[in-house]
Amino acid sequence: MQDAIDFELLNIYLKQSRVAGYCKFLLALFLAASFYQVTDITNIAVWVVIVFTINFYTIYTSFQFSDDMPVYQISFFKKRQHFLHILSGLAWGSAFFILVDANAVQSGDYRVAVVLAIIIAISSSSKAASFRGLVGFVMAISCFAGWYFVSNFALYAWWLFGLLGLVSVSFLFGWMTNKYILDQVEHRILNGEYVDELRALHDKVEKTNEDFVKRNLELQDIQKQLERLAAHDVLTGLYNRRYILERIEEKLPEIRRHQLDCCFVVMDVDYFKDVNDNYGHLAGDDVLKAVSQILMNGVRQGDIVARYGGEEFLIFLPMTELESAHVLVERLRSALEEHEHYIQNEKVIVTASFGIAQHEVNDSADRTIGRADKALYEAKVAGRNRIALSPHAE
């Protein structure tokens, strides 16, 4: 487990150090620019090259870290990064002696001090994943800064004390952050995120997961197909008798509670038996499909259309009184009558008869459907291709 913790801490340390490294490029350019007119350009160029070279190489080597790196290489990699950060700290601290003019007291040392203070502050968080790396970097910066302040102690006494305070606070904050990161890493690992085990089992888990997802999708498809088959008529694609009756029973309590209007429509294709007898059952199936499509295109969103049995269809119209239902059904009847059916290259006119009943609040669905069916019978007796309305229930 300790190997896994070290691995994760090093990974965090490298990522955060890279971000800080990008900032160092900008800070180095800023510091060099601020000394452009007061320091020899050669000194500035030398210092920038040193800082940039070490910083670039540190960032470059951090990208060489990989998840499949052997454990024995991790220790070497970590020590190399610590060494590079120490060199980086020395390069930054050398600004006091390379950039600042020793013959001009306080000519620009405050700018170096401010930038280095910013660097130290950034390091306390960016390098906290490795407390040893933080200490090495900050001490490397501080040794040059401290040397500079001690060499002019009378002038920089308070600066020296400020440096010691900043380093102390940086170490304290870095130590606290390091403990927090360590606790988080240990917590993740103790909860099952064992890096070594994940690596060893990665291929097996991935294949198992792919098989599981594939199996799950197949089961979902099968379930959807079964649900569709259970709710839909295979031939027409409309809802079947069982589904529409279940949906009606679900909606009736709300209809009763809010005293809402609704209507039931029973429809029967006229002379459908003649179509089957004269042209065959396949032609009859095509007629039922075409009729179903016309019905689906003619109803509103929220209306329910179902094949009730044979050539008979049931339509449930919620939020609809008898007069509005009559208008809607008349559009359906006209659409069916006007549609041109061709069977064996012969034009055939297909019509339908409709019975409409408005549901009474205290009535049952079966009784309302029965009244609509009775009205349908009256429409057939009256000559078919027409609509009959059922009177209110007694």
Pick the catalytic residue: 210, 246, 254, 311? 311
Same domain, 84 and 189: yes
Tell me if 384 sits within 8 A of 353, measured CB to CB.
Answer: yes
Query: Looking at residue 228, what is its pLDDT?
Result: 67
Burial of 266 from C-beta contacts in 10 A (0-12 / 13-18 / 19+):
buried
Same domain, 139 and 183: yes
Query: Looking at residue 265, what is its pLDDT?
Result: 97
Same domain, 176 and 260: no
Owner of token pair 């198992």: 208
Same domain, 174 and 207: no
Cα–Cα distance between 336 and 346 in angstroms, integer?
17
Q: Say if strands 352-358 and 262-269 run parallel, antiparallel, or are unpaired.
A: antiparallel
Same domain, 89 and 32: yes
Residue 149 domain-assigned (yes or no): yes
372: domain CATH number is 3.30.70.270
CA R_g for the chain: 43
Query: Looking at residue 366, what is its pLDDT?
Result: 93
Cα–Cα distance between 199 and 318 in angstroms, integer?
59
CA angle 294, 298, 303 (to 5 degrees): 115
* Nearest residue to 182 via CA among 12, 62, 47: 12
pTM exceeding 0.75? no
Owner of token pair 């209507």: 263
Query: Looking at residue 78, what is its pLDDT?
Result: 78
Owner of token pair 């950034």: 122
Cα–Cα distance between 107 and 122 in angstroms, integer?
25
Cα–Cα distance between 379 and 354 in angstroms, integer?
7
Same domain, 169 and 260: no
Domain count along the chain: 3
Cα–Cα distance between 209 and 169 in angstroms, integer?
48
| Residues 6 or more apart whose Cβ sits within 8 Å of residue 340 | 347
Residue 236 domain-assigned (yes or no): no
Annotated active-site residue 246? The verdict is no
Contacts 24+ apart (CB under 8 A), 253-256: 255/318, 255/359, 255/361, 256/361, 256/362
What domain range is 21 assigned to?
2-193
- Tokens (6 digits) for 235: 């031939």
Tell me if 333 sits within 8 A of 352, measured CB to CB.
Answer: yes
Residue 378 domain-assigned (yes or no): yes
Strand (E) or helix (H) holding 387: strand 387-389
* Paired strand residues for 387: 354
Cα–Cα distance between 328 and 181 in angstroms, integer?
69
Q: What is the mean pLDDT for each group of 10 consecutive residues in the chain (394 residues)?
A: 64 73 78 75 86 84 74 76 80 74 52 60 58 73 73 72 72 68 65 58 73 81 72 90 92 91 96 91 93 94 93 95 95 94 88 95 91 96 95 64
Strand (E) or helix (H) holding 324: helix 322-338
Query: Looking at residue 304, what is its pLDDT?
Result: 95
Residue 118 domain-assigned (yes or no): yes
Same domain, 122 and 258: no
* Paired strand residues for 316: 264, 304
Tell me if 51 sits within 8 A of 24, measured CB to CB.
Answer: yes
* Nearest residue to 263 via CA among 356, 141, 174, 361: 356
Q: Spell 190-216 as b/e; 16+ CB within 10 A means b.
A: eeeebbeeeeeeeeeeeeeeeeeeeee
